[in-house]
């Protein structure tokens, strides 16, 4: 598996490209639904949003996939379903939080701004059985997932007030992340070698060995190492669908893109992410899930001291809006600030 120089990793950091906004006009309206529609499950919403993505791809809007990968980079700790929801409703979002969190940061949601609807789990405790063993009674008191509810978050661009706190991210430089990535590679039992024998390829992975071309810039080395590491990690991923070499290569490139964007690089990859879709919705869903999970594994390892200060949907406050059979799951006009 080779990684050639098809990307520019020396750019500066930036938010999601504005070009993605024009290609997802319909997306900004959120996932549509009738007013009589019952609340959807997380899996139903994933299927619906993947279907929307497929419709955009078949209409020639290939760059919409890049918008989803950008969302993965900004919200890598969010669930796959919520990444899809954020990217569809506001593809240029870079940092989201609930209203309470923005207020705590000294910021207010601007008048007229519509909230981004996402799902948050409802966790509760089951009742102990009147007749049962002590272990059954104890298990009944443990937290368990009761379902999901709708909550609203807003992007930083939809708020105003006190300056945003510095997240400590890099802009165009790999900083300490390259060293941490090397440490993570070593911890996986993978041997890292530098050799000119692989030229003109920048990197190559086989077995438990990664070879890189000497003399790469730090951003190039970082993205190349992520790409080759992704190949090795993906080999250990159980796949439900048979995939081609092209899909494997595109998945590795997408993972490198997401990780690089997340730490502040601008890889400007020329890879055609449309290769993840060959008319097979299941394959596209699986590939996107694999990309997110693998990128999150790498990012968690190299950003171990850094936790998203944004409000995670899994920790949304109970005071947010909840699902109700009388309201659409994701109405065309999401909750707005009057």
**Residues whose CB falls within 8 Å of the CB of residue 76, separated by 6 or more in sequence, listed in order:** 258, 262, 292, 295, 296, 299
Find, among 82, 81, 112, 80, the residue nearest to 96 by Cα. Answer: 82
In terms of DSSP bridges, do strands 107-109 and 2-3 run parallel, antiparallel, or are they unpaired?
Answer: unpaired
The Cα–Cα gap between 281 and 52 comes to 11
Q: Tell me, what's the pLDDT at 269?
A: 64
The Cα–Cα gap between 130 and 146 comes to 21
Q: Tell me, what's the pLDDT at 266?
A: 82
* Model pTM above 0.85: no
Q: Token match 């998945």: residue?
A: 251
Find, among 3, 1, 2, the residue nearest to 257 by Cα. Answer: 3
Q: Tell me, what's the pLDDT at 33?
A: 40
Q: How far apart are the first and last CA of the chain?
A: 54
Q: Tell me, what's the pLDDT at 103?
A: 92
The Cα–Cα gap between 170 and 181 comes to 15
Q: Which whole-number Å values give the CA distances from 98 to 42, 94, 229, 319, in the listed order?
A: 20, 14, 35, 10
pLDDT block averages, 10 residues each, the chain of length 338: 45 33 36 44 83 88 87 89 92 92 93 93 65 52 78 95 65 82 96 94 93 94 95 80 82 93 80 74 89 95 62 40 30 45
Q: Tell me, what's the pLDDT at 238?
A: 67
The Cα–Cα gap between 325 and 336 comes to 20
Q: Tell me, what's the pLDDT at 42?
A: 74
Q: Which whole-number Å values give the CA distances from 295 to 16, 134, 292, 317, in the listed order?
A: 17, 42, 5, 27
Tell me the domain boundaries of the chain: 1-16+170-307, 18-93+96-163+308-338
The Cα–Cα gap between 253 and 249 comes to 6
Q: Which residues of 90-114 are buried (b: 16+ CB within 10 A; e: fewer)?
A: bbbbbbbbbbebbeebebbbeeebb
Q: Tell me, what's the pLDDT at 277?
A: 77
3-state secondary structure of 103: helix
Q: What single-letter DSSP state applies at residue 310?
A: S
Listed in sequence order, the DSSP H helices in the chain are 19-22, 42-58, 64-74, 80-89, 99-104, 134-140, 177-187, 218-235, 245-262, 281-302
């Amino acid at each position: 598996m080779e990684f050639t120089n098809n990307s520019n990793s020396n750019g500066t950091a930036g938010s999601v490209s504005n070009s993605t906004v024009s290609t997802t006009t319909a997306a900004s309206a959120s996932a549509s639904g009738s007013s009589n529609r019952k609340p959807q499950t997380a899996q139903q919403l994933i299927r619906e949003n993947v279907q929307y993505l497929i419709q955009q791809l078949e209409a020639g809007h290939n760059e919409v996939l890049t918008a989803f990968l950008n969302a993965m980079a900004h919200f890598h700790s969010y669930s796959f379903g919520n990444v899809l929801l954020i990217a569809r409703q506001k593809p240029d979002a870079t940092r989201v939080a609930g209203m309470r969190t923005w207020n705590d940061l000294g910021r207010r949601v601007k008048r007229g701004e519509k909230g981004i609807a996402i799902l948050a789990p409802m966790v509760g405790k089951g009742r102990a059985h009147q007749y049962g063993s002590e272990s059954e009674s104890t298990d009944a008191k443990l937290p368990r997932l009761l379902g999901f509810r709708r909550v609203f978050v807003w992007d930083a661009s939809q708020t105003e007030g006190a300056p945003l706190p510095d997240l400590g991210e890099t802009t165009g430089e790999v900083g300490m992340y390259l060293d941490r990535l090397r440490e993570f590679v070593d911890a996986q039992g993978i041997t890292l070698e530098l050799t000119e024998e692989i030229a003109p390829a920048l990197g190559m992975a086989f077995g438990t060995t990664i070879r890189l071309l000497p003399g790469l810039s730090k951003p190039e080395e970082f993205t190349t190492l992520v790409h080759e590491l992704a190949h090795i990690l993906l080999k250990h991923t159980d796949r439900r669908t048979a995939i081609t070499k092209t899909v494997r290569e595109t998945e590795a490139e997408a993972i490198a893109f997401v990780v690089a964007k997340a730490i502040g690089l601008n890889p400007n990859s020329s890879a055609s992410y449309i290769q993840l879709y060959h008319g097979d919705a299941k394959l596209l869903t699986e590939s996107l899930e694999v990309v997110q999970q693998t990128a999150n594994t790498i990012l968690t390892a190299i950003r171990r001291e850094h936790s998203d200060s944004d409000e995670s949907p899994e920790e949304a406050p109970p005071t947010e809006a909840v699902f109700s059979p009388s309201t659409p799951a994701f109405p065309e006009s999401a909750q707005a600030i009057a």
